[in-house]
Chains A and B, each alone.
Chain A
Amino acid sequence: MNTMKVTEQRGLSVKHLLGIKDLTRADIELIFSQADEFKEVLDRPIKKVPSLRDVTVANLFFENSTRTRLSFELAEKRLSADVVNFAASSSSVKKGETLVDTVNNILAMKVDMVVMRHASPGAAVFLSRHIEASIVNAGDGTHEHPTQALLDAYSIREKLGSVEGKKVVIVGDITHSRVAISNIYCLKKLGAEVMVCGPTTLIPKHIESLGVKVEHNLRSALEWCDVANMLRIQLERQDAGVAYFPSLREYSMQYGLDKALLNSLSKKIVVMHPGPINRGVEITSDVADSDQSIILDQVENGVAVRMAVIYLLAQNMKRG
């Protein structure tokens, strides 16, 4: 029996993953070390372990998603959990049911964990106060997208060896981006230096209070950094009728990353993108497909990181 090592170990400090803000550095490092083991599982001929065979997970997507939803579903299936999927577009939400009612009805069917994406900031926190199940926030409005930040930091750690001391610039629509906020929390907790870069209209006021630098010139930002995370312009979240920048073409000229700019930098930086990419707007195709881009590694790591999150949260729910 290998019990000795087990007794020295600790689990996650949280019951839910609502945001990176609630996690400690030790939590994040634990998630990463477990993700390493799950990455190995995903390289096996049989990419599946039976750990969660008695756990049922509901994926509640009140907002559209391809990558995140597939990634979560694969992560759950690779852990042998039973999975039920729900998309708001084809559900009773359209008939006027409230969020708590919808979720309670699903929980009445004996679901242990809920992975939820919702358009309202704070939806996951709200839900965690009303239901018993463990909740994983898969994006709540402009608030947080914790698993994306974890997989981004994990990908940086994989590519550069560690996150500590690295300089990361997040470029684009910071105001409307939950990825940006979660990334800032996560990278800061891991000891990275963070800068945000974009037009004044897309950078929230007082963002310096989170301990980040602000830069409006893309070239200066790229010269400073080791890693550039190029965000998408969140057209669907921008207020109708408000012009944050004159045109996509002008945005692209000022804040788009193309091969010529990338090659003119004094060092080789790592390029990231959380997807979906608007090719030709925030980055050009030749940059997205270049050897400096780790965009597809991010997607691959997403499954392992989500497996680690679900596995560690399930660990905190005792079998009753």
Chain B
Amino acid sequence: MRQVTLIDSKLLHLIITRLSCQLIENHEDFSNTVIIGLQPRGVMLAERILEQLKGMQPKANIAYGVVDPTFYRDDFRIHDKPLIAHKTDIPFSLEGKHVIFIDDVLYTGRTIRAGLEGIMEYGRPASVELLVLVERRFTRELPIEPRYVGKSVDSYDNQQVRVMWKKDGGEDKVMLLTE
């Protein structure tokens, strides 16, 4: 397996700062905006962004939740491996809210579609925007595009983009793995 570093820890920090600035630019004090992290990997990024936003906007009270797309996936009973659910925790209504949806890697768009269906159970949001750390270009199987992108990459199907976090025991970085 060949490994290439797409984003190192210094660049990752810069990207998280930039994405946070873009969110503040569009949502100001987050009074009617909520952040939803996608289980399992998007949550790590969402927490980092949240931390950054709190540092930049100490007075803002930003509502945060996590959604698990497992029960809404379209590959249940097709996927080779079992789809095991993670926690969903949205302790507020999404009715009329602007939702910022956060995941680490955007590939086919199917996980996002499932996640969108999941959050609709919590009310009808005014809008949903997608933020991703890595967008894999030209690989979408559904018409889903992000509004905020950390980095766009071109990759083959046999490659995998892996986001690693310090919290998991390694260092903050994004790798491109080739089988």
Q: Say whether B87 contacts A50, CB under 8 Å.
A: no
A266 in the interface, Cβ–Cβ < 8 Å?
A: no
Q: Which of A1-20 contact B (CB under 8 A)?
A: 1-7, 9-11
A319 in the interface, Cβ–Cβ < 8 Å?
A: yes
Interface readout for A183-211 with B: 1 if CB under 8 Å, 0 if not? 00000000000000000000000000000
Q: Taking chain B's interface residues, is the majority helix, strand, or loop, or is none over half, making it mixed?
A: loop
Q: Which residues of the other chain, B, contact A37 by a CB distance below 8 angstroms?
A: 68, 70-71, 85-88
Q: Say whether B88 contacts A40, CB under 8 Å.
A: yes
Q: Which of B1-9, B18-26, B47-55, B103-111 is the contact stretch? A: B103-111
A277 in the interface, Cβ–Cβ < 8 Å?
A: no
A129 in the interface, Cβ–Cβ < 8 Å?
A: no
Q: Which residues of the other chain, B, contact A40 by a CB distance below 8 angstroms?
A: 87-89
A41 in the interface, Cβ–Cβ < 8 Å?
A: yes
B150 in the interface, Cβ–Cβ < 8 Å?
A: no
B81 in the interface, Cβ–Cβ < 8 Å?
A: yes
Q: Which residues of the other chain, B, contact A5 by a CB distance below 8 angstroms?
A: 40-41
Q: Which residues of the other chain, B, contact A2 by a CB distance below 8 angstroms?
A: 38-42, 69, 103-104, 111
Interface readout for A287-320 with B: 1 if CB under 8 Å, 0 if not? 0000000000000000000000000101111110
Q: Say whether A6 contacts B78, CB under 8 Å.
A: no
A45 in the interface, Cβ–Cβ < 8 Å?
A: yes
Q: Say whether B117 contacts A314, CB under 8 Å.
A: no
B121 in the interface, Cβ–Cβ < 8 Å?
A: yes
B138 in the interface, Cβ–Cβ < 8 Å?
A: no
- B72 CB contact (under 8 Å) in A4, A49, A319: A49
Q: Which of A252-266 contact B (CB under 8 A)?
A: none
Q: Say whether A315 contacts B82, CB under 8 Å.
A: yes
A-B contacts, CB under 8 A, total = 84
A36–B88 Cα gap in the complex (Å)?
A: 10
A50–B73 Cα gap in the complex (Å)?
A: 9
B60 in the interface, Cβ–Cβ < 8 Å?
A: no
Residues of A in contact, count (CB < 8 Å): 32
- A315 CB contact (under 8 Å) in B72, B83, B89, B122: B83
A34 in the interface, Cβ–Cβ < 8 Å?
A: yes
With A49-B71, A317-B77, A318-B78 known as contacts, the answer to whether A34 contacts B84 (CB < 8 A) is yes
Interface readout for A26-53 with B: 1 if CB under 8 Å, 0 if not? 0000100110110011001110011110
Q: Which residues of the other chain, B, contact A314 by a CB distance below 8 angstroms?
A: 76-77
Q: Which B positions have Cβ atoms within 8 angstroms of A?
A: 38-42, 68-73, 76-79, 81-89, 103-108, 110-111, 117, 121-123, 160, 162
Can you offer 13 A-B residue contacts whose CB atoms are under 8 A? A2-B111, A4-B162, A6-B83, A34-B84, A36-B87, A37-B70, A37-B85, A44-B122, A45-B121, A51-B73, A52-B76, A315-B83, A316-B82
Q: Which A positions have Cβ atoms within 8 angstroms of B?
A: 1-7, 9-11, 30, 33-34, 36-37, 40-41, 44-46, 49-52, 54, 312, 314-319
Q: Which 10 A-B pairs have the closest CB atoms?
A: A11-B82, A49-B71, A1-B107, A319-B77, A37-B85, A46-B121, A9-B84, A51-B71, A5-B40, A315-B82
Known contacts A41-B88, A51-B70, A319-B77; can you find 13 more A-B pairs with CB under 8 A? A1-B111, A2-B38, A4-B160, A6-B79, A11-B82, A33-B84, A34-B84, A34-B85, A40-B87, A50-B71, A50-B117, A316-B82, A318-B77
